[in-house]
Amino acid sequence: MRIIPVLDLKDGQVVRAERGERHRYRPIVTPLAESSDPVAVARGLRTLHPFQTFYIADLDAIAGLAPNRDTLARLRGLADAPELWVDAGFADAGPLEAALAAPGVCPVLGSESQADDTLLRRHRDHPDLILSLDFFADGLFRGPPSLLENADLWPRRVIVMTLASVGSGAGPDFSRLAEIRAQAGDRDIVAAGGVRDEGDIRALASEGVAAALVATSLHNGTLTAEQIASLHG
């Protein structure tokens, strides 16, 4: 079971997510770092565990603003450079293909950013591509229906993003994860949203979930370094 820390970026800072209500996101305050600077926060997370992968939600790029490229370069410049799973609102072939060619970057194709399934059809077999199936606070899927309904289009890694649970402490959406898992075949399913503690991670693993994107429980200490060491694969 992989635990993948989340860095939500806005205006060059790490912000704390709240149920997908992005207008409410504010710079993070965490005991792991003295500031909300992304490199400082990433280093702080690595005091808990030597994480080799970080998930990056570039909220500016997702909103159609300038992407946080300099921040991504700084994160890649960390000692023992991490792999970055990056959702930067990819909606056109050029930026996606540039990200696929970038060393150490696995672009995340967010369903909310897609007008149709063209990009996914074109690049689904690329080993670095990740699909995010995005469910918003109203519980509804955001994106072309074919992305959710046609599992043959899915790449080998699929994130189930339940934004209503992000930062909520409400627990993962086990029923939705089970539904996606049943369609996924041998693909890796990644849970995102609501992970509270060690019990949730163990429950996800028992359901065949390959990894979990985690933020709040790392910063508030409900997942300790010792627990992460015992859980992390």
Domains, the chain, in order of start with CATH, read: 2-231 (3.20.20.70)
**For 115-157, what is each residue's pLDDT tens digit?**
999 999 999 999 999 999 999 877 789 999 999 999 999 999 9
User: Is the pLDDT assigned to residue 50 strictly greater than 90?
Assistant: yes
**Percent of the chain residues past pLDDT 70, beyond the cut:** 94
Q: Are 158 and 189 in contact (CB under 8 A)?
A: yes
**For 82-123, what is each residue's pLDDT tens digit?**
999 999 999 999 999 999 999 999 999 999 999 999 999 999
Confidence at residue 233, expressed as pLDDT on a 0 to 100 scale? 56
Average pLDDT, the chain: 92
Structure tokens at 7: 């860095």
Q: Any idea which residue has 């993003």 for tokens? A: 161
Q: Which segments within 19-143 are labelled E, that is strand?
A: 26-27, 53-58, 83-87, 105-110, 130-135, 141-142
Q: At what angle do helices 174-183 and 198-206 cross, to 10 degrees?
A: 30
Strand 53-58 to 83-87 pairing: parallel
pLDDT confidence band for 1 (50 / 70 / 90): confident
**For 174-228, what is each residue's pLDDT tens digit?**
999 999 999 999 999 999 988 989 999 999 999 999 999 999 999 999 999 999 9
How far is it, in rounded angstroms, from Cα 128 to Cα 139? 28
How far is it, in rounded angstroms, from Cα 69 to Cα 15? 17
User: Is the pLDDT assigned to residue 18 strictly greater than 90?
Assistant: no
Q: Are 102 and 110 in contact (CB under 8 A)?
A: no
Q: Which segments within 129-187 are labelled E, that is strand?
A: 130-135, 141-142, 157-162
Cα–Cα nearest to 171, from 142, 139, 193:
193
Q: How far is CA 26 from the centre of its chain?
A: 18
Q: Higher confidence at residue 166 or residue 223? A: 223
Q: At what angle do helices 69-76 and 38-45 cross, to 10 degrees?
A: 30
Q: Any idea which residue has 């992460």 for tokens? A: 228
Q: Are 157 and 108 in contact (CB under 8 A)?
A: no
Rounded to two decimals, the pTM is 0.94
